Homo-oligomer: A and B are copies of this chain.
Amino acid sequence: MTNNKTTIADRVFDTLCTAIVEGEIAAGSKISEPELAKRLEVSRASLREAIGRLEACSLVTRKANIGARVVSLSKEKLLEIYHVREALEGMAARLAAQNITAEEITQLQQLLKRHTDEVNQADGASYFQRSGDLDFHYHIVQSSHNERLISLLCNDLYHLMRMYRYQFGRVSQRAFPALDEHSYVVSAIADGDGEMAELLMRNHIRRSRRNIEQMMATDQE
């Protein structure tokens, strides 16, 4: 029963957020307030409010008197995010092991099973990497019951991570190993072993990062 009142700025934020994440508004491109306001049929005030929130979750950057532009993506920035995620989600797993509820454990195990079925059925194909993986991490973070951690990972960094996945988006060949790693993390959390849960989660994310580093290196660029 949270605050559901929706304002124009809210809708504009949602619209622009998905447009940016999905690349409809190109990464690195400048945002023209008059043009966008006209196109979306809203006032510049509402648009500017929305842009401010986009800046808060690092989807755009603003300079005084110059304006806003969509964040530009780079290998280096992506790897930086992975370092942050390794630290933050490692801690989230540790705290989840301490604070998770019985219902949440059940939900997590069901989610894991669902993902397993989907990956097996699709022979390791895209769905898992596209949204399932983020789902899993999302649930673990929620189970930490640390509001600040949740806010950082599920509000501030979440959209940016989706943006990279969407636009840099080769689907990794790690679907099966990643699934195993997920199940180990869940086991440690269910056992209440925070130390182990953190270790396993960190290793999982570190492997993802190294996998990306490798792919980026073999690609030109």
Interfacial residues, chain A to chain B (CB-CB below 8 A): 3, 5-7, 10, 45, 48-49, 52-53, 55-56, 63-66, 77, 80-81, 83-84, 86-88, 90-91, 95, 146-149, 152, 156
Q: Which residues of B sit under 8 angstroms from A10, Cβ to Cβ?
A: 64
- Identify which of A55, A87, A146, A152 gathers the most chain B CB atoms within 10 Å of its CB: A87
Majority-rule SS of A interface residues: helix
* Partner among B7, B45, B66, B95 whose Cβ is within 8 Å of the Cβ of A65: B7
Please, how many angstroms separate the alpha-carbon atoms of A84 and B80 in the complex? 17
Contacts A52-B52, A83-B146, A86-B91 known; list 10 others, CB within 8 Å.
Answer: A3-B64, A5-B65, A10-B64, A55-B56, A77-B148, A83-B148, A84-B146, A87-B88, A88-B88, A156-B156
Nearest Cβ distance between residue A77 and chain B, in whole angstroms? 7
Q: How many copies does the complex hold?
A: 2
Known: A56-B56, A152-B152. A147 touches B77 (CB 8 A): yes
Nearest Cβ distance between residue A96 and chain B, in whole angstroms? 12
* Partner among B56, B84, B86, B146 whose Cβ is within 8 Å of the Cβ of A152: B84
**Closest B residue by C-beta to A55:** B56
Please, how many angstroms separate the alpha-carbon atoms of A180 and B45 in the complex? 52
Q: Are B7 and A64 in contact (CB under 8 A)?
A: yes
